[in-house]
Amino acid sequence: MFKIGALALAVFIQGASGSATARALADGSNGAHPPLALSDLERALTINDRYRGLTVNVPEGPFWLNGANAFVYRRTTHGEQQFMRVDAATGLKRAAFDQARLAAALNEASHKSYQAGDLPFERFELTEDGRRLDFLIEQVRWSCDVASYACTSAKLTAPDFQLSHHYTPPAENNPDQRSVSPDGKWIVYIKNYNVFLRSKDGLQDVALSRDGSEGNYYVFSTLSWSLDSRHLAAYRVRPGFKRELHYLDSSTDQLQREHSTLVYPKPGDVLPLPQPVLFEIASQRQVAIDDALFSNPFELSPLRWWADGRGFTFEYNQRGHQLYRLVEVDAATARARSIIDETSKTFVDYQPLVMDQESTGKIFRYDVDDGKEIIWASERDGHEHLYLFDGQTGALKNQITFGEWVVRAVNHVDPVKRQIWFEASGRNPGEDPYFVHAYRIGFDGEGLTELTPQPANHHVEFSPDGRYYVDLWSLIDLPPRMTLYRAIDNAKLMQVETADMSELIRAGWQPPLSFHAKGRDGKTDIWGVIHLPANFDPKKRYPVVENIYAGPQGSFAPKSFSRRTEPLTQLGFVVVQIDGMGTNNRSRAFHDVAWKNLKDAGFPDRILWHKAAAARYPWYDISNVGIFGWSAGGQSAVGALLFHPEFYKVAVANSGSYDNRIDKIWWNEQWMGWPVGIEYSRSSAIDNAYRLRGKLMIVVGEMDHNVDPSSSLQLADRLIKAGKDFDMVYVPGADHGAPGIYAERKLLDFFVRNILGQTPPD
């Protein structure tokens, strides 16, 4: 660790020793613990490794196998992981495969040393004949024979369309890439950046397009046939600005540094322009499509034909994220029309409601009866809900779900029974509004039925045919239960797993404490958790450190069981996690606080929450509050000292995006808006570095591929120019989060020094 600013360490120690908390801890008043020993630090750094082996039969999320009414899940017992398979019809539970043989086969093929109880994948696919297991390890697809356990591998390459933001494909597609028409008469391929058609007998070979070029090319992976083979559609892409980040890895296996480059679009950059194109096969001609409805795309979804060939659809996410549109192109006329428009004065939250079929865009969409009706997710009434539209006219038929609660996921749709199984939160009064429950409802909005009555956090997975579902549920103080149900009548068929944490409790593990208090509006409950210190004594007082992540893409305070504990609790700290306004999974008004205002980070709510906790719990000491976070949480941790130094005094910021103009394009334009405006500067820790008060440590990994590491270095530069003292940990060769025990130890040391006022054990 190196210092920024003269005598920074001395200043830090002197400043911390002068605080009320530091004095109390130093003289042992208020029941504070004595000076820390080396064993305390060692326990903090190893506690989670120790706890990992003290639970039994802890199941993870299940997944169903294709072609079989069976599901698989991974469970952990004493630190060893085992894949289990359950046959839904018979209830037979057994090992999914021979993990020892698979590990040996993988080691032989990969020249690695994988362990049978710690295989490097979480999910796998079973081929329909049941003979092979397919899974991914670090962008390599492995396929292993179940009988012989012989394994082969193939490196994955991203589809051209996914890379088109920064990638010009070769002039001709790989000869192995062929798109054959559904009737088998034609083969389509790319040559000289254009679309070519070849008859199956090879006698005809014609150019369908002639306008393709290196600067306006057709993308093979976007070619899409109508099922009647009469039409073909594709995207032609004009490339955008190719912004590159350049890295020098100083810590390689060789003496010399290694150079690498990453294409990394940033807010405001010129984007590629994908445009759909229609081809008639009989006339072998290209038909122009007017782009007035989709002229400024941030992103277009893959092209999807109706089964009857009448046209194709795609979803248009307009740059600025305030319009998301479902577009249909008529095959006979090439006319484009909007079926559904989703609009917002702030941003359209298009994060998908996860489902294992059909929805190819971002917003959840399910086509009923070849698009005669469309189920669509929307926040148009202020909460995330499902709606039923007429797919032919675009008219709203009815709202399916409604109320001051939010749909979180769609699990299964039965178009015959006209029923939807979904997950939602916030519907049960008096319950934590983030608890997810499963429900069933009719397309007409009638017959809402709750399937998971236990007041807990649930996740369900339906079998591909919709006949069965598995419910995995837990609480922060109750380990997971997994149960198999029959969908038609919700009958319980099997208690699959019940985890045991008795050894964990005997070892001293304590569950977090749930707490909520009113937010800035005086009405809305703000929820969070309190991780209690080791050997907690309510008669003593404990300093508080907040672990912050306030990204608008989700909510982050834990609701489910985890044996992990916060290392700082082993050194006598209370550690808290809070979901303030601006985070997701509540009302739209709750969420909109973040728009063009990421510096807010819910701090007005968080500070009130801390004060309410201190008023309720005498042991909760907020006289010298610390805060830490990584990535967007790193940005917020610095923001705490810039914008709220009257409350937060000490911060550790790891891999932070300290100016949203420096970070990746999608995340920042989604929440900070486009075009890039003055709001970016107002939320910038770099532009506001002169405001710094308190003790700050910046941690950055040299090879961070998620957040441009220059963000941390520019912040350091601006702090130096402002005459501010701070610490900085630069980790050679490290990626995002600078993982490893060194950075973790530096975080612990920093809070011990600046909040406890002690010199950390050597």
Residue 424 contacts residue 439 (beta carbons within 8 Å): yes
The Cα 694–Cα 642 span in angstroms is 9
pLDDT tens digits for range 310-330: 999 999 999 999 999 999 999
**Amino acid at site 610:** H
Q: What is the pLDDT of residue 152?
A: 94
When pLDDT is cut at 50, 70 and 90, the band that residue 212 belongs to is: very high
Query: What's the mean pLDDT in 53-70?
Result: 93
Going by their DSSP bridges, the two strands 648-654 and 695-701 should be labelled as parallel
Q: What is the pLDDT of residue 73?
A: 97
Domain 2-53+504-756 has CATH 3.40.50.300: no
From 558, 547, 658, 559, select the one nearest 599 (Cα to Cα). 658
Partners of 188 in the β-ladder: 179, 197
Residue 558 contacts residue 549 (beta carbons within 8 Å): no
Q: What is the pLDDT of residue 20?
A: 41
Residue 721 CA from chain centroid, whole number:
36
What is the average pLDDT score of the chain?
92
When pLDDT is cut at 50, 70 and 90, the band that residue 349 belongs to is: very high
Q: What is the pLDDT of residue 235?
A: 96
| Alpha-carbon dihedral sign for residues 459, 463, 466, 471 | negative
When pLDDT is cut at 50, 70 and 90, the band that residue 71 belongs to is: very high
Q: What backbone torsions phi and psi does residue 163 show, to the nearest 5 degrees?
A: -95, 0
| Alpha-carbon dihedral sign for residues 317, 323, 324, 328 | negative
The Cα 15–Cα 750 span in angstroms is 13
Q: What is the pLDDT of residue 26?
A: 39
Spell out the residues 6+ positions from residue 615 whose beta carbon is closer than 8 angstroms to its own.
none
| Alpha-carbon dihedral sign for residues 731, 732, 735, 741 | negative
**What does the longest C-alpha to C-alpha distance in the chain come to?**
93
Name the helix (H) or strand (E) containing 747: helix 741-751
pLDDT tens digits for range 597-631: 999 999 999 999 999 999 999 999 999 999 999 99
pLDDT tens digits for range 473-483: 999 999 999 99
Query: What's the mean pLDDT in 717-724?
Result: 98
When pLDDT is cut at 50, 70 and 90, the band that residue 362 belongs to is: confident
* Sequence spans of domains, the chain: 2-53+504-756, 58-155, 159-296+332-340
Of residues 4 and 203, more confidently modeled? 203
Of residues 161 and 284, more confidently modeled? 284
Query: What's the mean pLDDT in 416-430?
Result: 96
pLDDT tens digits for range 260-314: 999 999 999 999 999 999 999 999 999 999 999 999 999 999 999 999 999 999 9
Q: Which residue has the tokens 């999608």?
A: 666
pLDDT tens digits for range 88-136: 999 999 999 999 999 999 999 999 999 999 999 999 998 867 789 999 9
The Cα 574–Cα 41 span in angstroms is 16
When pLDDT is cut at 50, 70 and 90, the band that residue 33 belongs to is: low
Residue 682 contacts residue 712 (beta carbons within 8 Å): no
Spell out the residues 6+ positions from residue 572 whose beta carbon is closer than 8 angstroms to its own.
32, 33, 36, 533, 534, 542, 543, 756
Residue 32 has pLDDT above 60, yes or no: no
Residue 373 contacts residue 389 (beta carbons within 8 Å): yes
Residue 198 has pLDDT above 90, yes or no: yes
The Cα 755–Cα 762 span in angstroms is 18
When pLDDT is cut at 50, 70 and 90, the band that residue 161 belongs to is: low
Of 139-148, 358-367, 451-460, 550-559, least confident by mean pLDDT is 358-367
Query: What's the mean pLDDT in 145-159?
Result: 84
Residue 240 contacts residue 247 (beta carbons within 8 Å): no
- Cβ count near 616 (within 10 Å): 10
Partners of 460 in the β-ladder: 471
Residue 456 has pLDDT above 50, yes or no: yes
The Cα 384–Cα 90 span in angstroms is 38
Provide the strand spans (E) within 702-751: 726-731
> Is the pTM here over 0.85, yes or no?
yes
- Cβ count near 43 (within 10 Å): 16
Residues in the chain: 762
Residue 541 contacts residue 622 (beta carbons within 8 Å): no
pLDDT tens digits for range 493-537: 999 999 999 999 999 999 999 999 999 999 999 999 999 999 999
When pLDDT is cut at 50, 70 and 90, the band that residue 165 belongs to is: low
Enter the tokens of residue 644: 């709220």
